[in-house]
Amino acid sequence: MSQSLDLAITLSSPGEGQPDVIANVALNCAALGMSHSGDVLKDPLTQQERSDLRWYLEQYWKWPFEGFAQRAKGVEELLPTLGKRLYESVFGSRQADRIVQKWLSTAGEHQISVMSEIPQVLSLPWELLHSEQGYLVMGTQEPVSILRRLPQSESTTSTAQFEPPLRVLLVTARPEETGFIDPRGIARELLDEVQGQINIGTIELEFLRPPTLKALRQRLRDRKRPIHVLHFDGHGAFDEQIDGQDEHILDGSGQGKLAFENDKGQLQLVNAEDLADVLLKSGVKLAVLTACQSAMSSADNAFSSVAARLIQGGIDAVVAMSASVLVASATLYVEAFYRAIADGTSATMAQERRCITAVFKRDKTGSLIHFGACQPVGSLTHEGRFANPAKAMNDHQLISQQPTFNL
């Protein structure tokens, strides 16, 4: 196994007196024994550019023709510029560039960890990072993994081991009057990709029936057959309206919610706090949330999203979505993600590989016909490969991955 080369970018509050600075920057690559601090980060995107990215990801697919197609072409042409601007904002100093060049030239699995509690920082499109040689994430044969991390909680620093089989619990919630989503799509792709592992006994897949919070609580009480991966497939929402400088975060002090069913099959919105309480000390290591806005947070609280609250509550890793997502894109994501997991790939690299496979689809004319805003939020490290279950990671990680652009 090649060595893991983690380049940690710690972004802390700049304090008062620097209105145009959003964070202080510190770099550290422990594997190379190199570090640097003292730089500052200014917002590399304008409000209009943020709005255009949001429109491109959530609205363009509805009418990808005529004037809308022209606007979308402009957004696509802007992506490398935004990536270079972000790269220069973080790595522009001579000392930072020296660390990055040494890190890139050293053989290994390259990973960037963005450590911060600042929502405006976590919501930046880090996956667009673009050097003079190309995109760091999508433009190389060995793509760089991007992880967003929340500071480690002292109360949840212990690691745990688990023995095969890896147990995956799928919660497919389709409450009445919330809009039809084929309940078979995600389940079918998941089952297809892990069937080989199921046959040899290294993975067990369960379906929660009924898909209620009460049933989930009861199932997690079975300590003889603990659940390691919880996959929620359904609707998600944030209870505030979008209103602010950054449309990937929301003003107000609301919380993210998931749409479970109640005993009558009707809607029961479960907020992040309540779900975290149910999962506390449950043994769940990874939560996968194919639910819209499950990684969306308020402007003043990075822990207000479902994903971040689960991380704060002790879940080692979470995969979630920052915005509204097409069902077709979510299905493609699940297919690629679990295929990689079943092959023994770490969750970190699995989510990078699925980006290449699942985010963009184009028709025969080259027009974009659908795309994903899938946002992995958290990942097991390379040591936590599911085909060979081992120690979970030490740091509680928040990978709030912005949609990865594969043009």
Q: Each residue of 77-106: pLDDT tens digit? A: 999 999 999 999 999 999 999 999 999 999
pLDDT at site 391: 27
- pLDDT of 350 over the 90 cut: no
pLDDT band, residue 239 (cuts 50/70/90): low
pLDDT band, residue 123 (cuts 50/70/90): confident
CA distances from 197 to 59, 172, 282, 380 (A): 38, 21, 24, 19
Between residues 330 and 264, which one has the greater pLDDT? 264
- pLDDT of 363 over the 60 cut: no
Per-residue pLDDT tens for 152-207? Answer: 544 444 444 567 788 999 999 999 876 656 667 778 878 887 888 889 888 899 99
- pLDDT of 381 over the 80 cut: no
pLDDT at site 177: 75
Q: What average pLDDT does this structure show over 11-35?
A: 93
pLDDT at site 356: 34
pLDDT at site 311: 85
Mean pLDDT for the chain overall: 76
- pLDDT of 366 over the 80 cut: no
pLDDT band, residue 116 (cuts 50/70/90): very high
Q: How far apart, in whole angstroms, are the C-alpha atoms of residue 290 and residue 58?
A: 16
- pLDDT of 345 over the 90 cut: no
- pLDDT of 396 over the 70 cut: no
278 in Cβ contact with 217 (< 8 Å): yes
Per-residue pLDDT tens for 313-325? Answer: 888 888 887 766 6
pLDDT band, residue 327 (cuts 50/70/90): low
pLDDT at site 61: 79
Between residues 312 and 358, which one has the greater pLDDT? 312
- pLDDT of 28 over the 90 cut: yes
CA distances from 49 to 54, 79, 87 (A): 9, 10, 16
Domains in the chain (CATH in brackets) are 4-152 (no CATH), 155-375 (3.40.50)
- pLDDT of 20 over the 80 cut: yes
Q: Phi then psi for 267, rounded to 5 degrees?
A: -70, 130
Burial class (CB in 10 A: 0-12, 13-18, 19+), 181: middle
Residue with tokens 């509550």: 313
- pLDDT of 241 over the 90 cut: no
Sequence-distant (≥ 6) Cβ neighbours of residue 307 within 8 angstroms: 256, 287, 289, 294, 295, 318, 319, 320, 377, 378, 398, 400
Between residues 135 and 329, which one has the greater pLDDT? 135
Q: What average pLDDT does this structure show over 41-68?
A: 88
Q: pTM of this prediction?
A: 0.74
192 in Cβ contact with 335 (< 8 Å): yes
Provide the percentage of residues in the chain whose pLDDT is more than 90: 37
- pLDDT of 44 over the 80 cut: yes
Q: Quick one: tokens of 45?
A: 């995107």
pLDDT at site 146: 85
pLDDT band, residue 222 (cuts 50/70/90): very high
Q: What average pLDDT does this structure show over 379-392?
A: 28
> Over the chain, what HEC string results?
CCCEEEEEEEEECCCCCCCCEEEEEEEEECCCCEEEEEEEEECCCCHHHHHHHHHHHHCHHHCCCHHHHHHHHHHHHHHHHHHHHHHHHHHCCHHHHHHHHHHHHCCCEEEEEEECCCHHHHCCCHHHCEECCEECCCCCCCCCEEEEECCCCHHHCCCCCCCCCEEEEEEECCCCCCCCCCCHHHHHHHHHHHHHHHHCCCEEEEECCCCCHHHHHHHHCCCCCCCCEEEEECCEEECCCCCCCCCCEECCCCCEEEEEECCCCCEEEEEHHHHHHHHCCCCCCEEEEECCCCCCEECCEHHHCHHHHHHHCCCCEEEEECCCCCHHHHHHHHHHHHHHHHCCCCHHHHHHHHHHHHCEEECCCCCEEEECCEECCCCCCCCCCCCCCCCCCCCCECCCCCCCCCC
pLDDT at site 36: 98
pLDDT band, residue 11 (cuts 50/70/90): very high
4 in Cβ contact with 109 (< 8 Å): yes
- pLDDT of 374 over the 70 cut: no
pLDDT at site 1: 55
